[in-house]
Amino acid sequence: MRRWVLTWIAPTSLALVIVSAGVAQQDPIKIGVIAPLSGPVAASGNYVRMGAEIARDWINARGGVHGRRVALLVEDNKSDPKEAAGAAEKLIARDQVPVLMGAWGSSMTLAAMPKLEEYGVPMVVETSSAASITKRGNPWVFRISPPSEMEALGLEKYLGALGIRQADFMAVNTDWGRGAVTAFGDMLRRHNAGIGAVEFMDQAATDMNAQLTKIRGAGGDTLFLTTSVEQITLVLKQAQELRVARRIITTGGSSSPSQLVKQAGAAAEDSYHIVFFMPWFPEAMPDPNLAKAFVDEWTRRGNPFEGLTEGFRGHDGIATIAEAIRIASRAEPQAIREALWKVSLMGLNGPIKFEKDGPAGRESGQSRPSIFLVQIKGGKAALPAFLRK
């Protein structure tokens, strides 16, 4: 009797091992996402999350990556650098994610970056603009958004049409805002344009009358504005009330022109905005079919249309990570980092391919994104007259 029982225990144990191995093989691939889901820039962070979810669902609908589903583990950095560092550590140490996407704001991304080196986990940076992110020398960082210097070069070719003689600057007092003032100021100086007033504001500030009063007296013809869409709305309204007569150009790609039309109304009229995705003109994007499909899916889900200029970042970041895992054939941090250098992908913004940037031997990856300029005209986003043809 005992021999009969033992004869059956062995095959059953083997079957359990085989089943367990099969289940393990089908475990989802975890991707950590760090975004500001609360705090002053929560709207932008949630739009990035929505875009990431579309990418995840599209990937999984196509069978996942090597037959494994993609799962997003999202942590709120609360629009705070310290929280961003803590979120990175939680995702890596607690949740064992092999790769991250984040962290929207430059100061938040810079705060999370030491954790990447400490644990040896790569991160795709989907939004942050500070040059130091790739210049600092962190080989675990791969950025698909343009640094402010790249943005300034994108605008440079339109200087003749814009006719800027003297520019004033108003920026959020973060690594992003300070970096934008330096990058665009340097570009304008190369073309002999004057630099007037330079004013900064706290990320949570709501009254910018003091800064705008100084700018009004500076004598410039153009105001470069760098901050989140919520603060841009307030600046536009307060500038109108103070009769600050300036051409306004927002930088950073986070202005959400459709939201400005809704919230700032006539105060947004004639303002210019650097963006990296044009949902109003999907046919003008590098891959029109992909752009239209994304806009349609975003709309089908009931997501706010004004969030598309941020949401595309989440899609492109997750698509980049999934492609790296496909190339690597395994979801391991070192393998993913090596594979990111081999990625060649068409995203919503355009081609994604990384070049080395930073100190020799410790280079970060930097893609060269497409950069667009739109103008609010007649209460809607439009191509400036000098670009329409």
pLDDT of 166 over the 70 cut:
yes
Note the pLDDT of residue 389: 62
Residue 41 confidence (pLDDT) = 93
Q: Do domains 29-146+286-366 and 150-275 have the same CATH topology?
A: yes
CATH number of 29-146+286-366: 3.40.50.2300
Q: What is the DSSP string of 152-193?
A: HHHHHTTHHHHT-SEEEEEEESSHHHHHHHHHHHHHHHHTT-
Provide CATH code, domain 150-275. Answer: 3.40.50.2300
Q: What is the domain partition of the chain in residue ranges?
A: 29-146+286-366, 150-275
| Residue 167: pLDDT over 80 | yes
pLDDT surpassing 90 at residue 215: yes
What is the residue-averaged pLDDT of the chain? 93
Summarised one tens digit per residue, pLDDT across range 284-319 is 999 999 999 999 999 999 999 999 999 999 999 999
Q: How confident is the model at residue 26 (pLDDT cuts 50, 70, 90)?
A: confident
Instruction: Average the pLDDT over each of 21-25, 75-79, 127-131 and give the range with the smallest value.
Output: 21-25
Q: Is the pLDDT of residue 11 over 70?
A: no
* Closest to 47 in 3D by CA, of 286, 250, 229: 229
The CB density around residue 22, as the number of other CB atoms within 10 Å, is: 9
CA–CA distance, 372 with 155 (Å, rounded to integer): 8
How large is the average pLDDT for residues 244-271?
96
